[in-house]
Amino acid sequence: MITAEELKVKWLADRRKGIGGSDVAAVFGEKYGCPRALFLDKTGVEPDYEHTEASLDLFDRGHSLEPLIADRFQRETGLAVRRMPSRVSKDRPWMRVNVDRIILSSAELGPEFEGPGYLECKSADREVFFEMRAHGMPEHYILQLQHGLAVTGWGWGAFAVLEPYTFKFLHFKVKRDERLIDVIKQVEEVFWKRVKAGDIPDKLEDFNDSRCQNCGYRLSCRNAEALPKEKKRKRIYEPDDSEEMDIIVGNIKMLDASIEEAEAQRKIERQKAVILMGDREAILVSGQGKKLLNSMRSGRQSWDTKALDTEQPQLAARYKRRGEAYSVLLMYDVNGNDE
């Protein structure tokens, strides 16, 4: 069986042959993606700065959980899924996709979801998972799935998402969006022409952009700016394997999970109430002893303290106040970043 390390090497070699599903975010400059970094990758430039452990762990996590997610999707939907080799677009050979799984066609799905479907398997941390459940998939995942449909030519796909800590799971079907696919094809074509012509995209404007801070090309792309900063003190964690502490931390984890879930659910219910109220400004729900008022408020005021510090440093120093120091308990995953 192919190991995660071998798969990663093959995946890196294959991705230089064209634009794959996981590249679309970078082509569009969405979320974690940067067109310049993608250009450097596609033109075979070796990264000059180490990737963070976290990004490698996430790749391994996604690869290891994929069969489990596909299996769960199959069990929960009753739809059969199969592995399949990567696919290349017929009319645009530089458009490619690694299909997580093909969903075999099923007459039970009706005419809207005819033919085979494209399954995109994702694993997501609690916060991201509840965000997806409350507000739908983020743009870069939508682009990724529609890219997959553009390459395969299939009419529909589905997301299957697992939250690995509580094993909560969600899945839903998505139809092919011809207008979005046209945009994806156009933007990817422009990008691929630039790759072939050696026309490197501009740097992102702000080096403080988190994409730059974690980029494998940050040394050559940002030169001196990327030189390692002063070394931070290495924190020592003293082991505490007492039963009492184990129970307390377990309780905190459980409560954190329920609070996040309850908050996500609360958001959904509030949105449902607003939709149900329609044009009505105020309603009385006597069964629950509550009055609901849907009123417009002016936007929250905020200060650009960064600009104030830079442009008016004296004024900022004069009026800035710092409260008394207080202690706060922070909790990180064992392999997580605690900075």
Report the greatest alpha carbon distance in the chain: 71
Task: Name the residue nearer to ligand SF4 (CB basis): 149 or 204.
Answer: 204
Residue 221 touching ligand SF4 (CB under 6 A): yes
Residue 215 touching ligand SF4 (CB under 6 A): yes
Q: Per CB under 6 A, which region of 164-172, 213-221, 233-241, 271-279 contacts ligand SF4? A: 213-221
Task: Name the residue nearer to ligand SF4 (CB basis): 206 or 324.
Answer: 206
Using alpha carbons only, how large is the chain's radius of gyration in Å?
Answer: 24
Task: Name the residue nearer to ligand SF4 (CB basis): 158 or 212.
Answer: 212
Q: Quick one: three-class SS letters along 99-163?
A: CCEEECCCHHHCHHHCCCEEEEEEECCHHHHHHHHHHCCCHHHHHHHHHHHHHHCCCEEEEEEEE
Interacting residue with ligand SF4 among 164, 222, 256, 308 (CB under 6 A): 222
Residue 194 touching ligand SF4 (CB under 6 A): no
Interacting residue with ligand SF4 among 24, 27, 28, 36 (CB under 6 A): 36
Size of the site for ligand SF4 (CB under 6 A): 12
Residue 204 touching ligand SF4 (CB under 6 A): yes
Residue 143 touching ligand SF4 (CB under 6 A): no
Strands 87-88 and 96-97 turn out to be: antiparallel
Q: For 235-269, give the DSSP string.
A: PPPPP---HHHHHHHHHHHHHHHHHHHHHHHHHHH
Query: In Å, how far are 147, 274, 286, 296, 308 from 299, measured between CA atoms?
Result: 36, 18, 31, 9, 21
Residue 37 touching ligand SF4 (CB under 6 A): yes
Residue 217 touching ligand SF4 (CB under 6 A): yes
- Which residues form the interface with ligand SF4 (CB under 6 A)? 34, 36-37, 203-204, 211-212, 215, 217-218, 221-222
